[in-house]
């Protein structure tokens, strides 16, 4: 099928097909995105991250539905962890977002992380590009459920929403050197539970010690399941978007995110080039030499590069 033509006509099946092809590293998908790249850059990217069980999927669903009621076109990329043993993913976000499936303004794509670190999936950026080309106004990127090192979302989204829940206690202190520093908006979800106000105060206190810019992250109490606080989050997202654009930070942030994307693609392409010129037997032979201490890993990696076309270009 002519995917380009059908995407321009608003065919959701064509969009799904393009994302699947991109996820599977099909060169046809790369060509389509390359040819239609001029249509990207219009969607506003909202990252939804935080600890597992905090209610990220429910919050995302409620925010998407609210934007849809405003007549906006919404894309959702929901990343789920992939089993390191079976390679499968439960894709539970699909279950929690069932109410959105019949909404013509909302397109949901769940994808397994496939071992990719950082809280996102390897195909996340390609999915975002495809949805942007399709004409989405807002694209939500929901992470796997992060730990301290999984901060890739901050280098992808325009606004990062950190979702927490009451009763974290010392967990917030443990998080402060990592993901607590990337939130533009903090949402304490499940605020009908005991300890919500205390958690909110703890976050505010930590933010007092971490003034990194003229933007002070908002801390919002929500009960997403009951639609409580959703309007406050929408307002905070809009407020942060205005701040980025009025201050001139938006364009610089977008340029930095493009740099991150380019470096990621370079890494993928270089690794593919190296592995294409290295047989499994040769690789295991080098591994055996390193294991026997006949060769150090630094020299081994240099030797591998020299054996490829990349090394020959030096």
140-150 pLDDT tens trace: 999 876 554 45
Supply φ then ψ for residue 158, to 5 degrees: -85, -45
Residue 298: per-residue pLDDT: 94
Nearest to 307 by CA among 293, 290, 285: 285
Give the mean model confidence (pLDDT) for residues 67-76: 97
pLDDT band of 62, cuts 50, 70, 90: very high
Residue 234: per-residue pLDDT: 98
Condensed to tens digits (0 to 9), the pLDDT of residues 106-142 reads 999 988 654 444 445 567 889 999 999 999 999 999 9
For residue 312, the 8-state DSSP code is H
For the chain, report the end-to-end CA distance as a whole number of angstroms: 42
pLDDT band of 84, cuts 50, 70, 90: very low
Give the mean model confidence (pLDDT) for residues 243-267: 92
Element (H or E) spanning 161, and its range? Answer: strand 159-164
pTM, whole model, 2 decimals?
Answer: 0.85
pLDDT band of 95, cuts 50, 70, 90: low
Residue 118: per-residue pLDDT: 43
In contact, 286 and 298? CB cutoff 8 Å: no
Q: What percent of the chain has pLDDT over 70?
A: 81
Q: Where are the alpha helices (DSSP H) in 87-123?
A: 92-96
Residue 303: per-residue pLDDT: 86
Residue 120: per-residue pLDDT: 54
In contact, 52 and 90? CB cutoff 8 Å: no
Distance CA(152)–CA(189), nearest Å, equals: 22
Residue 16: per-residue pLDDT: 94
């Amino acid at each position: 099928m002519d995917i380009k033509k059908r995407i321009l006509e608003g065919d959701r099946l064509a969009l799904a097909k393009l994302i699947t092809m991109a996820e599977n590293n099909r060169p046809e998908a790369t060509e389509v995105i390359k040819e239609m790249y001029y249509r990207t850059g219009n969607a506003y990217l909202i990252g939804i991250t935080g600890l597992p069980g905090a209610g990220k999927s429910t919050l995302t669903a409620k925010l998407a539905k609210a934007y849809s009621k405003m007549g906006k076109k919404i894309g959702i990329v929901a990343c789920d962890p992939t089993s390191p043993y079976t390679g499968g993913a439960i894709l539970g976000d699909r279950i929690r977002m069932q109410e959105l499936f019949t909404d013509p303004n909302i397109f949901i794509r769940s994808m397994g992380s496939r071992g990719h670190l950082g809280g996102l999936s390897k195909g996340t950026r390609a999915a975002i590009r495809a949805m942007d080309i399709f004409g989405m106004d807002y694209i939500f990127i929901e992470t796997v459920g992060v730990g301290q090192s999984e901060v890739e979302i901050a280098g992808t989204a325009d606004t990062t929403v950190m979702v927490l829940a009451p009763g974290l206690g010392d967990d917030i202190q443990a998080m402060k050197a990592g993901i607590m520093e990337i939130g533009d908006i903090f949402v304490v979800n499940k605020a009908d539970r005991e300890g919500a106000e205390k958690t909110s105060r703890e976050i505010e206190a930590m933010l007092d010690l971490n003034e990194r810019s003229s933007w002070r992250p908002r801390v919002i109490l929500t009960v997403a399941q009951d639609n409580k606080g959703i309007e406050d989050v929408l307002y905070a997202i809009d407020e942060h978007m205005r701040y980025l654009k009025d201050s001139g930070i938006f364009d610089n942030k977008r340029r930095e995110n493009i740099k991150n994307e380019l470096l990621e693609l370079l890494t993928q392409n270089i690794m593919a080039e190296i592995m294409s010129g290295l047989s499994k037997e040769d690789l295991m032979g080098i591994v055996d030499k390193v294991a026997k201490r006949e060769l150090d890993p630094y020299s081994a990696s240099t030797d591998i590069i020299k054996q490829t076309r990349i090394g020959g270009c030096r």
